[in-house]
Chain A
Amino acid sequence: GAVVSQHPSWVICKSGTSVKIECRSLDFQATTMFWYRQFPKQSLMLMATSNEGSKATYEQGVEKDKFLINHASLTLSTLTVTSAHPEDSSFYICSASLGPNEQFFGPGTRLTVL
């Protein structure tokens, strides 16, 4: 089946540093990937839609300059949290689209900002 990986699975960083999270579709090509954020005991909130070779589309309220998304190839999208602060601590999940309304999710990355 379609497999999506994320790296790292967890990361701890100091306030003010930047953190990069990778999302890879391992056995299929994905022109579209999605980035979600999940707070404890809450739902997944869509942050942005990442399209290969073009700029990401951000949801309302998501800071483009803070959450940089790059989708450089059909199997890789990266999310960089710039100048991270404790309030950015969360669980970040990506998904890759195999076709219309067919998304496969990665295992998530837990970010803790001290």
Chain B
Amino acid sequence: AQSVSQHNHHVILSEAASLELGCNYSYGGTVNLFWYVQYPGQHLQLLLKYFSGDPLVKGIKGFEAEFIKSKFSFNLRKPSVQWSDTAEYFCAVSSFRDDKIIFGKGTRLHILP
């Protein structure tokens, strides 16, 4: 069965700090990988996704993620965070067999102004 593990439950950073949120997945076949963001009081939005091709994926709002197949990882990065990045971030995986998306437990990111 597929599973997703996010390393940090709660991260607190100051503005302009660099961000890296860890994500590892468990699945034997070909996967699609996602990062979603949920801003306070809003619904889930897609930040970026990886299906195939260049393992370094650029998303919205300056986020990027790197797929490292050998490590089963898909870490999210941003070189300089802003206060508006305060949100909960979910890593997710799906297989080519079906559309079901399996989510990690989420990382709550709090940016100090």
Contact = CB atoms under 8 A, between A and B. Distances in A.
Interface of A: 4, 32, 34, 36, 41-46, 49, 93, 95, 97, 100-101, 103, 105-108
Contacts of B44: 44, 93, 95, 105
Given A101-B94, A105-B43, A106-B43, A43 B104 contact: yes
B103 A108 contact: no
B54 interface: no
Contacts of A93: 43-44
Contacts of B102: 46
Q: Which one of A43, A46, A100 has the greatest number of beta carbons of chain B within 10 Å? A: A43
A46 B100 contact: yes
Contacts of B49: 101
Contacts of B100: 34, 46, 49
Query: How would you classify the secondary structure of chain B's contact residues: helix, strand, loop or mixed?
Result: loop
Interface string B11-54: 00000000000000000000010001000001111000101000
8 contacts: A36-B103, A43-B104, A43-B105, A46-B100, A49-B98, A49-B100, A101-B94, A103-B99
- By Cβ-Cβ distance, the 3 closest A-B pairs, closest first, are A105-B44, A107-B43, A43-B105
Query: How would you classify the secondary structure of chain A's contact residues: helix, strand, loop or mixed?
Result: strand
Interface string B90-113: 100010001111111110000000
A106 B101 CA distance: 15
Contacts of B103: 36, 43-45
B43 A42 contact: no
Given A43-B103, A105-B45, 8 more contacts: A32-B99, A34-B99, A41-B106, A42-B105, A43-B4, A44-B90, A101-B49, A105-B44
Contacts of B51: 101
Contacts of B4: 43
